Amino acid sequence: MRCVAIIPARGGSRGIPRKNLYPIAGKPLLAYTVEHAKAASAVDRVIVSTDDREIATVAEQYGAEVVWRPAEISGDSAPSEAALIHALDEIAGRDGYRPELVVMLQATSPLREVDDVQLAIEMLLTEHADSLFSACAVHGFVWRKDAQGFSSLSYDYRARQPRQASPEDFIENGSIYVTRHELLRQTRNRLGGRIAMYLMDPLNSFQVDEPADLALIERLLRSRALTSQTHPELAAIDLLVLDFDGVLTDNRVLVDQNGVEAVWCDRGDGWGLARLAEASVSVVVLSTETNPVVAARCRKLRVEAIQGCADKLGTLQDLARSRHLPSSRIAYVGNDVNDLACLKWVGVPVAVADAIPEVRDICRLVSTRPGGRGAVREICDWIRAARAHSPVLPVLEA
């Protein structure tokens, strides 16, 4: 059964300008939903419907296809169903693709679990439903205000019962919709026929609607990363190797009129590296370029720097031999194509959040923070936490 996921993502947004591109926990808001769609094995194509070039670029970077939405269905009042049907018409005309199921995902719902989309599709099929919406349960006493005043909706206030005895209500959270293609075309509505519901945790149901939502969702994402990612594979790491540009810096460079370069770094990275040294983990910076700013920053951080590495993998392997370390006891953090060989060789390859897709795709771990903005601190904390909870075995000589 063919299944397409379509993510409507307009460029215009009144409440939060450029909302779909807003960086949250190291990634554009849109990226989370693209990743959720791609994680579902039942989904064979992921489409972003947009009228904005920057959104299109981000969509393609994270592995989605782009359908350009015309202006007449890109305004605030245009229903999402219009974008869905337009995208379906485009891919049908482009390559004859006609799916049986259509999944609509809101880009403003980044808190889904990684398997939510797949489980929602399976629920629709298991229940022989025609459409499905995601929701969260509401326990309590719901009231509504109208022209006549307040009225109790979920209970009778004249005969109040204990909370646990009150009926369970559900709120459509806007995160996931699954619809059979023919029903969508016939009714021009994402819901109809036999309707199923996919229940989600209330904490995973928050959406980005108001500016205050951004800070809340960022905190929830970071809390989830800290509590769910224990990374036991990092317990045996004795050597952490870092690329410099794009890992210890945010990949920007400032150049004055005399050609003197300066870079942007994060003070928190230095604190993380200092605490890692206390845990007896060595750190080395490998840089392709030779630049005084690299040496100066590494002196400040009290870590070894090896510059001018035309062959980064060869240099890394020589370093491992000199320290009698197998590749399994080395973690490497990178962000770009010149890190690929090293990342493929070490035991634990790690990408910073804003690394290029080719790097993220081959890495076992990806930070939630971008390079130069706390990624190294986050990775150092992971290593310390893993070593604190797992015994570190000695290196066995070959």
pLDDT tens digits, one per residue of 60-85: 988 899 999 998 888 877 889 999 99
Please count the residues of the chain.
Answer: 398
Q: Which residue has the higher pLDDT, 337 or 384?
A: 337
Same domain, 139 and 245: no
Residue 346 has pLDDT above 80, yes or no: yes
**394 lies in some domain:** no
Choose one of 226, 254, 269: the last residue of a domain.
226
Could you give the angle at the alpha carbon of 221 between the alpha carbons of 246 and 174, nearest 5°? 120
Same domain, 341 and 284: yes
pLDDT, tens digit (0-9, with 9 covering 90-100), for 268-309: 898 889 888 888 899 999 998 888 888 999 999 999 999 998
Residues paired with residue 6 on neighbouring β-strands, in sequence order: 47, 104
Amino acid, single-letter form, for residue 167: P
DSSP structural state of residue 167: P
What is the extent of the structural domain holding 348? 234-389
CATH number at residue 375: 3.40.50.1000
Residues 242 and 114 both lie in one domain: no
DSSP, res 246 = T
Q: List, in order, residues 6 or more apart from 256 with CB less than 8 Å away.
A: 262
